[in-house]
Amino acid sequence: MTVRVGALVALAVLAAASGSALAAGPVGQSIRFDFEGDKVGGLPPGFSVAQTGKGQPPRWAVTEDSSSLAGPKVLTQSSADATGNRFPLCIENALTTANVRLSVRFKPVSGRVDQGAGLVARFRDSGNYYVVRANALEGNVNLYKVVAGLRSEITGKPADLRTGDWRTLGLTVEGDRLQVSLDGQPLFEAQDPTFKAAGKVGLWTKADSVTEFDDFQAQALP
């Protein structure tokens, strides 16, 4: 079955014989957003805005950037509130799964406190989820868990990241194993048992990061 909502293409192959339910993780379902069919200035259909921490509300909207190889329309978090403990989230509402393969192209535009771009998995609510984020100011990619609103680092690795460059961040979560990639190349992996249940997926930034995202993809895994 193919479902189109704005720029969403959802391909569902549900294991009917085993009675698999959406909340348990729809194995084979995949989604891809390039935002080309979405209205500039608005939030793409099927997404909702959330926030961890304090500070002003996030400002997520479709904007235009001709430098994106996936097409000129991108999803941008443009609020530059510099509150350090502020993590804007944009959550995709259609896919709920425990095991998942995620990727997104991102471009750090500006930020004095931070220039972060992240992928969220097993999102339960704004205080509980996994996130991997790339930071152009710090020059690293780190993996975190957020528990009851408190973020703690699992592991990370230095990476050559620059303001204004498009890169691709990837995260694969299977059981308690989390694998991180940059531009399609494995970067590091870790094990963490904190979140086991299915959750939603999404995008993430921090503090005053103005960041563009494009070609957001997610695939539910067995």
Residue 28 has what pLDDT?
A: 81
Average pLDDT of 41-46?
98
Looking at residue 23, its pLDDT comes to 37
Give the model's confidence band at 25: pLDDT under 50 very low, under 70 low, under 90 confident, else very high.
low
Strand-pair partners of 51: 88
Share of the chain above pLDDT 90, in %: 87
Q: Is residue 2 predicted with pLDDT exceeding 50?
A: no
Residue 13 has pLDDT above 70, yes or no: no
Residue 47 has pLDDT above 80, yes or no: yes
Residues 16-31: what's their mean pLDDT? 54
Mean pLDDT of the chain: 90
List domains and CATH numbers for the chain: 2-220 (2.60.120.560)
Tokens of 12: 């569902």
Single pTM value for the model: 0.89
Reported as a single tens digit per residue, the pLDDT across 138-162 is 999 999 999 999 999 999 999 999 9
How far CA 199 is from CA of 37, 42, 98, 138, 157, in Å, comes to 26, 25, 6, 29, 26
Question: 3-class secondary structure for the chain?
Answer: CEEEECCEEEECCCCHHHCCCHHHCCCCCEEEECCCCCCCCCCCCCEEEEEEECCCCCCEEEEECCCCCCCCEEEEECCCCCCCCEEEEEEEEEEEECCEEEEEEEEEEECCCCCEEEEEEEEEECCEEEEEEEECCCCEEEEEEEECCEEEEEEEEECCCCCCCCEEEEEEEECCEEEEEECCEEEEEEECCCCCCCEEEEEECCCCCEEEEEEEEEEECC
